[in-house]
Chains A and B, each alone.
Chain A
């Protein structure tokens, strides 16, 4: 296989660094949620009491379960992002090695596209659940300073990104075909 020069420039190095940093931030987030979900379910009464202190209508324990549900959605979203970042890191590594036009990179990009689409779906259902919780919780007590807005629709940018990744995967598949042809040419 033809190996070209290794372009280990500042852009690649900083991208790698940023990806590693983001990966550990996400891992931290997943660990926090993994601890937080069972914790709020163990102390349902205490969480419900704390909520009753802020909202006019005292919420039942089902609201705490719904909050735990939101946290599960969050954990799934973080895991999907971790998965997509892992694939992106491998693509960046292959660019560093000077051989990015391979079929595996096409598969990686397709995987990233599917992950982005899955994140959109999880965000959408998470948004619905969060809106439901806010509706159940109702009015905030006048003496409490609490404001929360939910923005959980389907993002057009996210859908476009997923489509772009899937199209880019096809570009890489074609690139891999052309690389094969080139390698058989004397």
Chain B
């Protein structure tokens, strides 16, 4: 009798474990052969205010891949249309990237972000990317050459995200949302430009709330990486002085005076010269000092212009407003901060700590 009871109990337990582990008849069917877990979605502007959603299908199996795109008025409507058109059911669980066209970015992407945030299947770690150009066409041309284009693109983003490798801006959904919803901050995203030879990193897109307002590129973008994103750069070429600085690390000190009228923004930089093609004798400490001064002035000027641009656009991706928060006083309103920020007098100061080129220079005297 006891044995009977024991067996009965175990059977009940087994039944319950099976039911709860997903084999229950009333859950969604996720049989791997019957679903297509997409890796990315590309969204651009369609006709008449519609959205154009495209992706590569099937994402996993070794069948011929196709670029599929749908024009829809709601993002999730796209899923339904795909399901009706394709033999596998589309799933979001493995989504890694969201590619947004810059035109759509200019109109605002709040609604898209909110869709992603509400779906528990979509990881908050998916990367958001802005692209300039027709991504659909590019994908179609790329599929013959490189089947796993989407995967390699993802790996690239992941590589630069980890440990802040300091080459390009990488922003995931959580970070974007955090910058979007926190007061005194505006989000930014990486911008890639589609060209015939491939996808090229162009710079960083600055957002005012959820609208793309400006793209900064080349030296501005390098400076942005240095002072905000990573505080590290692998290489920083300054063509004006024919010099390349390598392994640049930076520390920022922000000081706002009590009346909030002047901000002193100090960038302390540790670096070494990796390449030099100019005429100066960098072994001479005096020459090196001069060169350093020149570079500091040049960077200060550039950074100042970048700040000016941000002030004009009323965007604060550097989260400077947070500096006004104090533990024992009421934080000021965001609007008020932006007004102050616009008028603020910003002083930029660079302190470069440089290691000279150690190997011989061809024009080195006295040898």
Tell me, yes or no, whether A binds B: no
Interface residues of chain B, those whose CB is within 8 Å of chain A, are: none
